[in-house]
Amino acid sequence: MSKLPDKERALGMYQRMSLIRKYEERIYYLFLEGIMPGTIHQSTGQEACAVGMLYDLRTDDHMASTHRPAGHDLAKGVSLKSMMCEMFGKDEGCCRGKGGAMHTGDIEVGALVANAIVGGNLPIAAGVALAYKMQKKDNVIVCFFGDGATNEGAFHESMNAAAIWKLPVIYVCENNLYSATTSIAITCNMQNPAADRAVAYAIPSEIVDGNDVLKVNEAATRAIKRARSGEGPTIIELKTYRHGGHSRNDACQYRPKDEEKHWFDHDPVKNFRDYLITNKLATEEEVEKIDNNIEADIDEAVEYAQHAPFPQIESALTDVYWEGK
């Protein structure tokens, strides 16, 4: 059982989780309506991973995400408006419309541009951590990846480098049991694809219920402490599940219904809400107020983004090389 958090902290975490849930639900709806371009990979069901891991990072710490970045970005503090504008391909998007749904991020708040190459962010995170170390900074970087990414060569090369150089990086595997349509059980013979391999690199690891935000946050606290005090990397494997399909067009027909039910019943947002009320950290009304405020913020962001201007066409030709600030 986790130690009871103080009220402000608990509500802060709930607010972020609820924001991610409602954001993803709205994006999904906008796609169904045909209003939003491109494709999407949503993090619905994995909110506790993002919030638990990132809640205690400082703004000058970094986070490296994947093709499924929205939860991580919102938890790291990328603004809702700039996320929404990016999704619509608008000039005020966090990547000025050049990135898109798989590349959201904002270096101003420590969110690296998300990486749509599976495993592509892992060595980059090691490099960021190497720079902290060379520059004698006490920062840490949290690098997210999926169960499927652990089968990439980039995973193994990065773990080894992080280990030998004792880098301040936290490698966080969100094991949602599938890489696209493929069960991790048929592509890796280990029960815990990230944590079980940690021993091969002599990196400490933890396996945590990724749908329990407080447990995730406790593991994060330990790993951040290790990293900041120069003890090196940690691998954290979070057991979780995505509620929707892999991407826009996936009806998820390859997942057993009883497995889905088991995980849907273990909903990170709903459970945490119940926890707050049962433990008298918040009243129904307080929680509802948070939710309503989020809905209003999202309404506003969508309205804003839909009416915001597209980038000037000629801007397509800039930024290929750094042009200075």
Partner 1 sequence: MALLSIADALKSAIAEEMRRDPLVFCLGEDEDIPGGMGGAFTVTKGLGDEFGYERVLNTPISEIMLAGVCVGSAMMGMRPVADLQYGDFLFCMMDQLVNQAAKMCYMSGGKVHVPMVMRAPCGASNRGAQHAQSLEGFFTHVPGLKVICPSTAYDAKGLMKQAIRDDNPVLVFEHKLLYGSKRKEKDAISTVTEVPEDDYVIEFGKAAIRREGKDITIVANLLMNYKALEAAQILEQEGISCEVIDPRTLVPFDYDTVVASLEKTGRLMIVHEDNYNCGWGAQLGSWIAEHHIFLLDAPIVRVAAYDVPIPFSPVLENYVIPSKERIVEEARKLMKV
Ligand X SMILES: Cc1ncc(C[n+]2csc(CCOP(=O)(O)OP(=O)(O)O)c2C)c(N)n1
Other Cβ atoms less than 10 A from the Cβ of 96: the count is 17
By CB under 6 A, the residues from 146 to 175 that bind ligand X are 146-149
Backbone angles phi, psi at 312, to 5 degrees: -60, 140
Burial of 147 (0-12, 13-18, 19+ CB in 10 A): buried
| Contact of 7 with 282, CB cutoff 8 Å | yes
Backbone angles phi, psi at 144, to 5 degrees: -90, 145
161 binds, options partner 1, Mg ion, ligand X, none, Cβ within 5 to 8 A by partner type: none
250 binds, options partner 1, Mg ion, ligand X, none, Cβ within 5 to 8 A by partner type: partner 1
Give the interface with partner 1 as residue ranges (CB under 8 A). 37-39, 86, 89-90, 93, 95, 97-103, 115-120, 148-149, 151-153, 179-183, 186-188, 249-250, 252-255, 310-311, 313, 315-317, 320
Site string for ligand X, 84-123 (x = CB under 6 A): --------------------------------xxxx----
Smallest distance, partner 1 to C-beta of residue 255, A: 8
Site string for ligand X, 179-198 (x = CB under 6 A): xx------------------
In the sheet where 205-209 sits, what is the strand order? 62-64, 141-146, 169-175, 234-239, 205-209
Of 216 and 305, the one with the shorter C-beta distance to partner 1 is 305
Backbone angles phi, psi at 221, to 5 degrees: -60, -45
| Contact of 239 with 48, CB cutoff 8 Å | no
Site string for Mg ion, 164-203 (x = CB under 5 A): ------------x--x------------------------
68 binds, options ligand X, Mg ion, partner 1, none, Cβ within 5 to 8 A by partner type: ligand X
Q: Kindly provide the b/e burial profile for residues 77-86, where b requires at least 16 CB atoms within 10 angstroms of the residue's own CB.
A: bbbbbbbbbb
| Residue numbers at the binding site for Mg ion (CB under 5 A) | 146-147, 176, 179
